[in-house]
Amino acid sequence: MAIQSKYSNAQVESIIAELLAVLDKHQSPTDLSLMALGNCVTHLLQNKVPAEARQVVTEQFAKALSQSVKSN
């Protein structure tokens, strides 16, 4: 999603592959996959992002997600 990242493509692709493998292992339909991933995002925002930064980070994430879908 990000144009520039402090993480290597290999790091990102490895995590994506593992997440997708888990969804595939559970034969998760698209709606369930999106629900589970969305809940993961919510968990990360609530537990890893300071309360005072949550709204901005959430908006940035939503914008990046929207842009990544438009460009594909």
pLDDT grade for 43, boundaries at 50, 70 and 90: very high
Query: What does the pLDDT average to over 15-31?
Result: 98
Q: Contact at 8 Å (CB) between 34 and 23?
A: no
Q: What's the pLDDT at 22? A: 99
pLDDT grade for 26, boundaries at 50, 70 and 90: very high
Please say if the pLDDT value at position 54 is more than 80: yes
Fill in the DSSP letter of residue 72: -
Rounded distance, CA 47 to CA 40, Å? 10
58's enclosing H/E stretch is: helix 51-70
Please say if the pLDDT value at position 3 is more than 80: no
Q: Contact at 8 Å (CB) between 19 and 37?
A: yes
